Every structure is written in C-alpha cells, then in structure tokens.
Amino acid sequence: MNALPSIKLSVLTGKIQQALSDVFAEQTWWVVADVTNYSFYAQKGYHYFDLVEKDPNAGGIVAKVSAVAWGNGAIRIKEFEIVTGQQFKNDIHVLIKVSVAYHQVHGLQITLLDIDTNFTVGQLEQQKQQTLIRLTTECADFIRKVGDRYITRNNQLPLRSVIQKIAVVTSGNSAGYQDFRHTLDHNHFGYTFFIDNYFTVVQGETKAELVQQRLIDIYNSGIPYDAVVIIRGGGAQTDFLIFDTFILGRAVAKFPIPVITGIGHQKNETITDLMAHSATKTPTKAAELIIAHNRTFEESVISMQQTILIRSQQLFSAHFQALSSLNAGIINQTRTILATHKEELHTYNSIVLHTSKSILLHHHRELITISNAVLARPRIMVANKLNDLDNIVANFRSFSRMYIQSKRAQVAHYDSLFKLMSPANILKRGFAIIYQDGHIISNAQSLQPGSHIKVVLQDAELEATITTKNNTHEPGTNI
C-alpha cells in the first residue's frame, strides 16, 4: 500500500498565513457590523467579540467573524464609550477600522484598530430627527416648532403656584428615584410633598408603551396632581432610546398635567425632554426644580408681606403726622372759639340777668293781682256747688223710691206667675205626671204594651203596666 503524499499542519498553516499576508498585509478596512458574543478581560485589557452582518429583510445572519481589540484598539473603545455615552456591548451597530491577519495557532484574526464615534452618534441623532419631524407633522394640532424650540400643549400649561401632589413615573429599584425622594424629603425649607408612585420599566425602545400606559393610569385616576415627574438614573446613551420614541413623545406633549423630566443624561436632550413642560438633567435636579419653584412662591409671599408692612408703616407715619397736625389745629381753633364764645356768654349773661329781673318783677305783680282775685272767687264757687249738691241729693232720693216701687211690682207679678205654673197647681187641675225608669215621659213613643210606668197625681202615685197602646196621631204632627 502506497502512502498518500502529506505535509505537516504547520506547513499548511504557514502557507495560509503567507497567502493572507500577501493579500491583506499593511491594509485596513472600515467595516459596518453588529457586535455579538462580547466579553472583556479587564486585567489584560482584551476585548473579544463577534462581528455579524444581518439581512435587513430576512433578519438572518449573512456573515460572521471573530474579532479582538487590545492595545490601541482598546483605547479607542474606551474613547468611544466616553464620547458617545454608549457602552461597547452586544447588539450595537458600529463602524470600525480593522486589520486582517492569520496566526498558525489562533487562526484568522480580525483586529479592531479604531471605531467611528460619529457613525453611532449620527445614527441615533438621525433617528431622533426623523421622529421629531413625524411628531410635528402628525401631531401639528398640539406640537409645533418655533425656531429651535418645540411648543407643545404640555409645556404651555401653567404650573400651579405650589407643587405638592406629585405622580412619579420611574423604575421601582432606580437609584435616581431614591435620590429624587431624598432631595424632596430632606429639603431645607420644610416643604411637605405627597407622592404617588407609578413604577414601570424605563429602558428599552420596546417598553415605551408601558410608560405611556402609566401616564394613562395617572390620567384615569382622576387625582388632581400638580405635576407628573418622569425620572431615570444615568446610563449609556442607548439606554435612553425609550425617551426618543414617537409614542412617548406624543403622549407627553399632549398630557394635560405639566410633565417634569429628570433623565440622567448630561449631553443631548431627549424627545421626551423637548415635549415636556420642564426638563432637567438628573432626578436630583428635578427635585431641586420643584423645591425652587415652591421657594419662589414662598419668597413672593414673604416679599409681599414685607411690602405690605413697609407700606403700612409709611401710611401710618403719614397719617399720624396728618393727625398730629389736625389735632394741633383743632386745639388752636377750639381755644379761639372758646375765647370768642366766652365773651359772648358774658354779654348774654348780663342781658339775661337784666331781662330776667324785669320779667320776674312783671310776673310778680301779675301774680299778686291774680292771687287777690283767686282768694275772693273760691267762696262764691263753694256756695254754688253746695246748692247743686243739695238739689242732686233730693233728686236721687225721689228717683230711688220710684225705682224700688217699680221693681217690687215686677217681682210680685213673677211670683204669681211662678205659683200658677208650679207642678202642684197643675196636678190640682187634673193633670198627671208619668215616669218611666225615673224619667218624665212627654210622649208615648218609647212606651209599648208591657212597659211599667209610674203615674203621679195630686194625692197619690200609681204603679201601672201598659196593656194596649193606641196612637192618636203620628209623632211630630200637630193636631
């Protein structure tokens, strides 16, 4: 049996290495690809990952190769993360500069030499601008752009003078939420806030509907919140893509309660920031904005109070001076008037004394004349009245006798009439009184054969029983 011709593996790998070196030596290429299977060894500073190309229509992988970054490439990755705020990780779309080499032990090697930060940032910004154009086009009734600013229904709402009742949309385990609560709860002014939590996922573009649903829950609660706060802590730029979605931008722009954002990014504003009433960079800044807003109102009240006090003091001082001047004028005028009237009183007093003496003397004379007349007249009047009294007494005695005689005649007449009508005299004339059960019977209506009656005559009382009854006429008719 003849041995087949063969070579050593090292010879074959050497030939492959030589062939690839002849084609790819000293050459580099800018490649667009997605990162998968990423791992990083911090001690050595090595990055290992796969570069893949996906079919945009079918979604399958059409190309895949392993890659590594170390040395200068690792430095470029670090710079990329600092500039973009995007962590180098799986499922990011990048434009990288690579070299191709072959190692007899490690095989084909694609080495990352550089990474284009503008490509990644530009893609995100382009997507953001397209979303903003769509918002201003499809939601023109409540979103419009004026210069570099977006005017929305939400950012035109007036904030209440004091923000106290707050609805918070955030992740339940977020450190940013803890910072927000700590800042509000430990404010230096002693303000009290009433916070309702609406926890949800605040990361990932596909989770925008969950945040929108929490806004709907806030609206349906019917609670009159002063503001809605959407907060999230720091992270990579792609972690904030949820806040650049059309669905969330539209919901915030149209929301009927002022929305304050505290999203932990320090570079560009998200679409949610642009649509909201007030945008801050961090959850802590959002809390500080609310505290500052309330402090502004308190300071305005304090300022108004001080203004009222100062103005009151000024008015009091001015009116006090006016009152002092008026008081002095009144005192001076009073003294002048009193002096004038004092002289007049002296004059009137002299006139009154002189006139009074004359009047008294005149009336004294009249009284003497009247007294003399009065002393003589009573005797005549008394004599006349005595004669009148004698006549009255005589008339009274005469009229009294006549009245008594008249009344005695009437009494005698009534006495005779009463005697004539008495039952004894009636019985003497042959009449009888009939009793039934102790009652006088005036007609026979209640009497029937067999009834017992008592008949009272002048000289006897008879007990009888009725045997027959014959009606002489109907009761109630006149004969």
For 277-291, b where at least 16 C-beta lie within 10 A, e where not — what string? bbbbbbbbbbbbbbb
User: What's the CA gap between 130 and 121, in Å, rounded?
Assistant: 14
pLDDT of residue 160: 93
pLDDT of residue 478: 44
184-198, 215-229, 263-277, range with the lowest pLDDT? 263-277
Does the global pTM surpass 0.85?
no
Residue in 81, 13, 85 with CA at minimum distance from that of residue 47: 81
Sequence ranges of the chain with CATH classification 3.40.50.2300? 125-297
Sign, Cα dihedral of 102, 106, 108, 113: negative
pLDDT of residue 168: 95
Q: Measuring CA to CA, how many Å separate 84 from each of 69, 73, 81, 267?
A: 18, 16, 5, 9
Q: CB-hemisphere CA count at 13 Å for 136?
A: 14
| Contacts made by residues 17-21, CB under 8 angstroms, sequence distance 24+ | 17/102, 17/103, 17/104, 20/100, 20/101, 20/102, 20/108, 21/101, 21/102
Residue in 270, 235, 233, 234 with CA at minimum distance from that of residue 253: 270
Q: Which CATH number, 2.40.37.10, 2.70.180.20, 2.40.50.140, 3.40.50.300, labels domain 10-115?
A: 2.40.50.140
Q: What's the pLDDT band for 164 if we cut at 50, 70, 90? A: very high
What are the tens digits of pLDDT across the range 213-252?
999 999 999 999 999 999 987 665 556 778 888 999 999 9
Strand order in the sheet with 259-263: 194-199, 165-170, 227-232, 259-263, 278-280
Sign, Cα dihedral of 11, 13, 14, 15: positive
What are the tens digits of pLDDT across the range 298-309?
999 999 999 899
Which residues face 111 on adjacent strands? Answer: 68, 99
Sequence ranges of the chain with CATH classification 2.40.50.140? 10-115
Q: What SS3 state is found at 391?
A: helix
Q: What SS3 state is found at 229?
A: strand
Spacing of C-alpha 259 from chain mean position: 20
What string of DSSP letters covers 316-348? HHHHHHHHHHHHHHHHHHHHHHHHHHHHHHHHH
pLDDT of residue 266: 56
Which of the given ranges, 45-59, 200-214, 320-334, has the highest pLDDT on average?
320-334
Q: What's the pLDDT band for 258 if we cut at 50, 70, 90? A: very high
Average pLDDT over residues 336-365: 87
**In the predicted model, what is the mean pLDDT of the chain?**
84
Where would I find the H helices in 203-282? Answer: 208-221, 246-254, 271-275
Q: Is domain 125-297 given the CATH code 3.40.50.2300 in the classification?
A: yes
Tokens of 224: 């009159």
pLDDT of residue 370: 82
Give the torsion through C-alpha atoms of 242, 246, 249, 254, to 10 deg. Answer: -140
H/E/C letters for each residue in 263-310? Answer: ECCCCCCCHHHHHCCEEECCHHHHHHHHHHHHHHHHHHHHHHHHHHHH
User: What's the CA gap between 284 and 180, in Å, rounded?
Assistant: 5
pLDDT of residue 151: 94
Average pLDDT over residues 310-323: 88
Sign, Cα dihedral of 203, 206, 209, 212: positive
Q: Which amino acid does the sequence have at 379?
A: R
What are the tens digits of pLDDT across the range 31-44?
888 888 899 998 88
